[in-house]
Amino acid sequence: MAPAPKLIPTPTYAPLPTPLRSSFGALDAPPSSYHGSSTSGAQDSEAYILSIASINGAKELAVATSSPSNAIHIVDAETLRFVRSLNGGGPLGLGAFQSTVGKKGKQAAQAGVGGIQAHVGGVTCLKAYGEMGEGLISCGKEGSVVIWDARSGAAGVKMYASGMGGKARPLLSCDISADGWTVAAGSELQGDDAVITYWDPRNPTATLRSHTSTHSDDVTVVSFAPTSYILPALPSSPSGDLEMSSESQGQSSDKLILLTGSTDGLLAISDANEEDEDEAVLLTANWGTSVAQAGWVGDQGVWAGSDMETFSTWSAELDPVLDFDIREPGAHTEKAEWVTDYLVTAQSTANSQLRVFVGSNEGDISLISTPQPLQKAAPSPRKRKSTSIADAGVAPWCLHTSWTHQHVGVVRALLCDEKNGVVVSGGEDARLHVWRDPCAGRLEYAGGEAEDVEMRMDVDDEEEERQQRKREKNARKRAVEEDEDDAMDGGKRRRR
């Protein structure tokens, strides 16, 4: 693991303590006419917010909650008023959001809204897809992947992963290809197999294929590559000779590229269309720590976060670039005081920058980033002869903004809506907050450019070196004086 980078507040850094709008997740019992249920609204008030997705042209939000409700609620993005719960066919649950926007929102929450579990046993993954979030896909512990009709709340297409002895195989991750013709899901380890299963949603009752040898433990991440991704050169023989990549190896070919990550510590890039498991895996990297989340950095590389709160980035060839403890970079200045306790998530921007969202145990969130997430920092000229890892040069990261004083405890979910300039957060307190995003569109760095950030780091390093040389000089001077004093004392003793 490399040394952690410095964290520098940008000139425009300022914490934002007040959200644009909020929902506090207060739930009440549904009407007695709803299937005769007497279930208490405490069920959802005890549930964490696990995932947030923007759907229907950013007009609505899909919000996944933990047990005991195991629900996916649809709320109005502008008011945060409850709209409906998605019907997964599970036992009765319920859901409503108490909005801070107007009396009607509060009245709707107080009336209570009936719903049922989206996935029995737990919602493990929730994603919107399509250019405008027209579609919604999720998977769960009961072994199903569901493509939802987000407008009606019905399960439009449902696919099942069968496991040992005909039992359901619990699923942890899922995704759908850009063309909508391939669905992939990663499973928990069951017996000796952790499986990546593929379906064509036009024929959901039959799987296309399953890959069982890519990973040896829970498959926590599946993510199809951006359509602009071009597969890099690959070893074409045991000797290591490279087969040069071309457009025929990219997404325009018969290859359908999928990124996967697992608790076995591996990241893999595979061809989802390959029937032969031995040929399916194209690139692998062993991070050596359990992969909890991962994603693409534009079409040029990959980011990953571990269960141990380490963070890494990888080149298109899955060569390591950055690898450090996300908790180590901190800011302690008159302008900013920030300490990271965990990684919330990361998100690639429209111009291939990488936004990294980190959280504190008090419920605050910050946005940090580096100008070049896929480029190792070159050592400054004065350090190029050094062989020390600490002297190799670690590019600084910037602290852009913080959203504070609203959540209580860990923030579990975050959605960054660049187009509309907002950030939506949800956590263990069951609260949902919509914040203004002062960095929407472009991340500004100290001085405005990446080079200025590196220059600032160099200036800091030069000052640190000057101070170090001064300390060493003073230490040598003290040593000489002590030697002279010892010699004088020795001479006096000899004369006696």
pLDDT per position as a tens digit, 362-402: 999 999 999 999 987 655 454 444 433 334 456 889 999 99
264 pLDDT band, cuts 50/70/90, is very high
pLDDT of 314-327, one tens digit each?
A: 999 999 999 999 99
- The percent of residues above 70 in pLDDT, for the chain, comes to 74
pLDDT the model gives residue 393: 55
- Pick the more confident residue, 245 or 198: 198
Q: Is residue 369 domain-resident?
A: yes
Q: Is residue 96 domain-resident?
A: yes
State the residue range of the domain holding 33.
7-450
pLDDT the model gives residue 486: 61
Which of these ranges, 216-220, 353-357, 474-478, has the smallest mean pLDDT? Answer: 474-478
pLDDT the model gives residue 147: 96
Measured CA angle at 236 (ends 232, 241), to 5 deg: 90
pLDDT the model gives residue 455: 46
Is pLDDT above 80 for 98?
no
For residue 312, what is the domain's CATH number?
2.130.10.10
Rounded Cα–Cα distance for residues 281 and 291 (Å) = 18
- Cross-sheet strand order for the sheet of 354-359: 7-16, 397-403, 365-369, 354-359, 342-348
Look over the chain and give the mean of its residue pLDDT values, rounded to a whole number: 81
Is pLDDT above 80 for 74?
yes
Q: Judge if pTM exceeds 0.95.
A: no
> How many domains, in total, are found in the chain?
1
pLDDT of 148-187, one tens digit each?
A: 987 777 888 999 998 887 888 999 999 999 999 999 999 9
Q: Is residue 292 domain-resident?
A: yes
Q: Is residue 474 domain-resident?
A: no
Which of these ranges, 95-104, 403-412, 459-468, has the smallest mean pLDDT? Answer: 95-104
pLDDT the model gives residue 175: 98
- Pick the more confident residue, 353 or 471: 353
Rounded Cα–Cα distance for residues 11 and 5 (Å) = 18
Q: Is residue 112 domain-resident?
A: yes
Rounded Cα–Cα distance for residues 396 and 372 (Å) = 10
What's the rounded mean pLDDT across residues 96-100?
39
pLDDT the model gives residue 35: 33
Q: Across 102-106, 136-140, 237-241, which has the greatest mean pLDDT?
A: 136-140
Q: Is residue 418 domain-resident?
A: yes
Q: Is residue 479 domain-resident?
A: no
Q: Is residue 90 domain-resident?
A: yes
The number of CA neighbours under 13 Å toward the Cβ of 218 is 15
Is pLDDT above 60 for 343?
yes
pLDDT the model gives residue 451: 45
